[in-house]
Amino acid sequence: MPRIKPQPGILDIELYVGGSSSVEGVSDVVKLSSNENPFGSSDVVKQTHAKTGHALHRYPNTDHASLRAAIAEVHKLDAERIICGVGSDEVLQFVTQAYAGVGDEVVYTEHGFSMYPILARMVGATPVKVAERERIVDVDAILAACTKKTKIVFIANPANPTGTMIGTAEVARLADGLPEGAILVHDGAYTEYVEGHDGGAALVESRDNVVMTRTFSKIYGLGGLRVGWGYAPKEIIDVLNRLRQPFNLSTVQLTVAEAAVRDQAWVEKCRSENTRLRAWLAEALAELGVPSDTSTANFILARFADQEEAEACDDYLKSQGIIVRRVAGYGLPNCLRITVGDEAGCRRVAHAIGQFKDGAR
């Protein structure tokens, strides 16, 4: 036995694998592997960022009051119930650290986001994976899997990597059916891609056991900035704030994120472009014999005949400088997740898949 060993669960963590961003020997690469906004961030955001080089010797605010007020104003929420983190991943981590530990169970679904089991193991809890129904979150299956030990249930809605969604009434039924003391985390990383959706905010306000998380990494085009936020009952926010380091977000992160949330015109433009290009891409792939579920997010889960075909297609795309995401690790070996790019990116990936289907290897 080694004398020095980490806490239970930590050695069971499989390291998160991000989407790759380069192909050896190819310079004109299109990256469709990490659900990033192909249009980047808005001009206002870039200008704000360029101006943040001053006063970097000062510590940032610890209470994030100005960013929380901006989020609250834009989304008509209560600023007192908002917490900001280093990406929404950090907010998910706060919730897990605060409410689950050794001997507890953390429930997630078959094709759920790979951070959920990682977070469970981080705190020594047991991740419990529940089957989905044809790549859609199955509320009855989740409720059946819950026990007295269940402390957290994670769902992403829209879900990643399936792109499917369940309705608010179903989410409410899930929240209301959870065991006493268990929390539903409604991960809204892709909420902004769904016209008129509140990400679960109303459920947070009407219940004591729902937490919503949101991010600046996706539609705001700020994956590199690392800012996310959560919305939860005040009692939960008070708990999470005790785990949050006082200076978890830098002055640059706070200032740029605030400019981004105030620029909803950019969000609307990106949402409508995504909706248009997503429909085009799904249709183009379907015509090539590559079906997908109707996506509600900024990616498409393309289904191939089997794992061999999916991998051969991925290899071919890579040879053409197109990077998409293999999702065998999500229990979807015959699929590739393709982020909706800009018009040129969508045309390029559809064209290459067409060539692949025509026998190019």
Ligand X SMILES: *Cc1c(COP(=O)(O)O)cnc(C)c1O
C-beta of 215: minimal distance to ligand X in Å? 3
Among 189, 225, 260, 346, binds ligand X (CB under 6 A): 189
Nearer to ligand X, 156 or 310 (CB): 156
C-beta of 148: minimal distance to ligand X in Å? 27
Cis, peptide link before residue 60, omega less than 30° from 0: no
Nearer to ligand X, 217 or 296 (CB): 217
Provide the residue type at 198 as one letter.
Answer: D
C-beta of 295: minimal distance to ligand X in Å? 13
Which residues, at least 6 apart from 278, have a Cβ–Cβ distance to it below 8 Å?
A: 295, 298, 300, 340
Q: Binding string to ligand X for residues 23 to 52, with x set by CB under 6 A, is what? A: ------------x-----------------
- Looking at residue 226, the DSSP 8-state letter turns out to be -
Nearer to ligand X, 151 or 218 (CB): 218
For the chain, strand residue ranges (E) read: 30-31, 82-85, 105-109, 126-130, 150-156, 183-187, 210-215, 228-231, 299-303, 322-323, 325-326, 335-339
For 121-194, strand residue ranges (E) read: 126-130, 150-156, 183-187
Query: Cα 329 to the chain's mean position, in Å?
Result: 16
Site for ligand X contains 187 (CB under 6 A): yes
What span, in angstroms and rounded, lies between the C-alpha atoms of 107 and 114? Answer: 12
Query: Which residues, numbered 313-352, are part of the site for ligand X (CB under 6 A)?
Result: none
Residues 191-202 as b/e (b if ≥16 CB within 10 A, e otherwise) read: bbbbeebbbbbe
C-beta of 78: minimal distance to ligand X in Å? 21
Ramachandran bin of 263, using left for φ above 0, alpha for ψ from -120 to 50, beta for the remaining angles: beta
Nearer to ligand X, 87 or 117 (CB): 87
Among 9, 87, 230, 345, binds ligand X (CB under 6 A): 87
Token pair 């690790």 is found at 329
Closest to 270 measured CA to CA, from 23, 38, 50: 38
> Alpha-carbon torsion 21, 160, 131, 14, what sign?
positive
C-beta of 85: minimal distance to ligand X in Å? 8
Nearer to ligand X, 138 or 192 (CB): 192
Site for ligand X contains 113 (CB under 6 A): yes
Among 100, 156, 270, 335, binds ligand X (CB under 6 A): 156
Is the distance from CB of 214 to CB of 228 less than 8 angstroms? yes
Nearer to ligand X, 60 or 228 (CB): 228
Site for ligand X contains 82 (CB under 6 A): no
Nearer to ligand X, 88 or 274 (CB): 88
C-beta of 157: minimal distance to ligand X in Å? 9
Q: Binding string to ligand X for residues 207 to 246, with x set by CB under 6 A, is what? A: --------x-xx----x----x------------------
Residue 150: φ, ψ to 5°: -70, 125
C-beta of 76: minimal distance to ligand X in Å? 22
Binding site for ligand X (CB under 6 A): 35, 87-89, 113, 156, 160, 187, 189, 215, 217-218, 223, 228
